[in-house]
A and B are shown apart, each in its own frame.
Chain A
Amino acid sequence: MNILKVVQEIVAGQISRDPAEITEKTSLEEAGYDSLDVLETIFAIEERFKIRVPFDANDPRVKELKTVGDIARIVESALGEKAPA
């Protein structure tokens, strides 16, 4: 599964854009994301991948979540931690 591609689709859907316009380097802020968009995106990812993403709005590291690639990387990390069946 191409994680980045799925994340691109979810981000594009969140802000009603064409997934083709969204790349790994797309800045969430420049794309028009606010804090609630991030929250809804994380939820969509959790539902899609059936994982739990350790995202906490009170964690100062939230500020490091700047691009679509950053989201894809936390998904990869969460998938990696998912215990194999």
Chain B
Amino acid sequence: MPTTWERIVAGDSAIGPLMLPQMDELPCPIAAQIHDFDPDAHFTAKRLGSLDRMSQFAVVAAREAVADAGLEPDDATLAQADVVVGVSVGGMTTLDDSFQRLYREQRRSVHPLTIPKLMANAPASQISMDLGLHGNTFAVASACASGTHAIGLAYRAVLHGDCDIAITGGSEASITPGTMTGWSALRILSRDTCRPFSRNRSGLVLGEGSAILVLEEWEHAIARKARIYAELVGFGANADAGDLTSPDQAGAEGAMRRALASAGLDPTAIDYINAHGTGTLINDVVESRAIRAVFPSEKLPPVSSIKGVLGHCLGAAGAFEALATALALHHQIVPPTANCTEPDAECGLDVVPEGARQAVLRHALSNSFAFGGLNAVLAFGRSA
């Protein structure tokens, strides 16, 4: 987590040449892949037999989050924690490998744990099993908003008194030959890099990884003197009920307004927005219009997208962005929009292209807008 935040603040992009050794001809040239992850450093060989790459990421992130929160493994409240993890499609590495065996190698069998490895709830279940968590545990699938919806639902569970601690976020590991070919067919992938809100933006770049947060009931966290990065104060979500893939200004606006209402905040209380900012021609202009409609023109908060650094991690994107938003409030730093070399006047926002900025941040929003017309927005407040 510290390294990820440092790279976000530095605008140090993880985007590089796509590596898919199974393919002779790549469907696109670039992605934000994790190359230095060594599963053997985290899991026994026996355990790895049941873990798709998305679950490996999720379990490692959850262990790190729980340790960072200062929770002991035998903590009784932790043992009752809910686990809610967003995943956009499921265990695509497992699925792709199985199909290679069947269709390319003409073999007649696949690994016996193929199904429990690829199921969408595998990351949530594997976190629960790894940490011994017995609360309400499930996956949330809402494409690119999965991580945001997951955190929003976990937040409501804590608010409702279901649990005092919830482990939540998102995980994604779908940079496989099959999925990348599918994305390429949508004709929205960039071939140079991800440039959110830049006039020369050329599309999105896929990424992978997992971000997991520990949500804790306020008084419980205070009582045990936990380090509190930020306070989650609101969640708003809705559906466009319109186009399958094109963003909708009214839907995006509505989700931000719902999050503000949920938090009981006036738009003028928001000092930063972590944008969905995919770097596609249409998302960035539609999201900008929605922001300009919700926030007064004389007090538009700075807006930035961290996808120029992390790429679009799909089901994990909203979780990475919630994490970045919480850390922005904690450090009182607005992260920059990396690779935005020509801020687009049509977007009409301060997208922090020049680099990270020190600022007084009271509250912040984190936006996610997904295929299927699903919008989700989290509202955070400064904890101290």
> Do chains A and B stick together as partners?
yes
Asked if A57 and B186 sit within 8 Å, CB to CB, the answer is yes
Enumerate chain B residues within 8 angstroms of A56, measured Cβ to Cβ. Answer: 187-188, 202-203
B250 within 8 A of A: no
Interface residues of B in 178-213 (CB under 8 A from A): 185-188, 190, 201-203
Asked if B185 and A43 sit within 8 Å, CB to CB, the answer is yes
Enumerate chain B residues within 8 angstroms of A43, measured Cβ to Cβ. Answer: 185
Enumerate chain A residues within 8 angstroms of B187, measured Cβ to Cβ. Answer: 39, 42, 55-58
Please name the residue on chain A nearest to B283 by beta carbon: A58
Known: A39-B186, A39-B187, A43-B185. A58 touches B245 (CB 8 A): no
**Dominant secondary structure at the B interface:** loop
For A39, A42, A56, the residue with the greatest tally of chain B CB atoms inside 10 Å of its CB is A56
Q: Mark A61-81, 1 if CB is under 8 A from B, else 0.
A: 010000000000000000000
A20 within 8 A of B: no
Interface size on A, residues (CB 8 A): 13
A36 within 8 A of B: yes
A35 within 8 A of B: yes
Interface size on B, residues (CB 8 A): 15
| A60 and B243 alpha carbons, distance in the complex (Å) | 20
Q: Which of B188, B244, B246 contacts A58 (CB 8 A)?
A: B188
B281 within 8 A of A: yes
A34 within 8 A of B: yes
B280 within 8 A of A: yes
Asked if A35 and B245 sit within 8 Å, CB to CB, the answer is yes
Determine how close the nearest CB of chain A comes to the CB of B281; give it in whole angstroms: 5
| A57 and B188 alpha carbons, distance in the complex (Å) | 5
Q: Which of A36, A42, A55, A57 contacts B280 (CB 8 A)?
A: A57
Please name the residue on chain A nearest to B243 by beta carbon: A34
Enumerate chain B residues within 8 angstroms of A58, measured Cβ to Cβ. Answer: 187-188, 190, 201-203, 280-281
Determine how close the nearest CB of chain A comes to the CB of B42; give it in whole angstroms: 37
Determine how close the nearest CB of chain B comes to the CB of A64; give it in whole angstroms: 14
Enumerate chain A residues within 8 angstroms of B243, measured Cβ to Cβ. Answer: 34-36
Q: Which of A36, A39, A55, A57 contacts B281 (CB 8 A)?
A: A57
Determine how close the nearest CB of chain A comes to the CB of B311; give it in whole angstroms: 15
Interface residues of A in 33-62 (CB under 8 A from B): 34-36, 39, 42-43, 55-60, 62
| A60 and B344 alpha carbons, distance in the complex (Å) | 13
| A55 and B201 alpha carbons, distance in the complex (Å) | 16
Determine how close the nearest CB of chain B comes to the CB of A53; give it in whole angstroms: 10
Please name the residue on chain B nearest to A35 by beta carbon: B246
Determine how close the nearest CB of chain B comes to the CB of A7; give it in whole angstroms: 18
Enumerate chain B residues within 8 angstroms of A62, measured Cβ to Cβ. Answer: 281
For A39, A42, A55, A57, the residue with the greatest tally of chain B CB atoms inside 10 Å of its CB is A57
Known: A34-B243, A35-B243, A36-B245. A60 touches B186 (CB 8 A): no
30 contacts between A and B (CB under 8 A): A34-B243, A34-B246, A35-B243, A35-B245, A35-B246, A36-B243, A36-B244, A36-B245, A39-B185, A39-B186, A39-B187, A55-B187, A56-B187, A56-B188, A56-B202, A56-B203, A57-B186, A57-B187, A57-B203, A57-B280, A57-B282, A58-B187, A58-B190, A58-B201, A58-B202, A58-B280, A58-B281, A59-B281, A60-B281, A62-B281
5 A-B pairs closest in CB distance: A58-B203, A58-B281, A57-B187, A57-B188, A58-B202
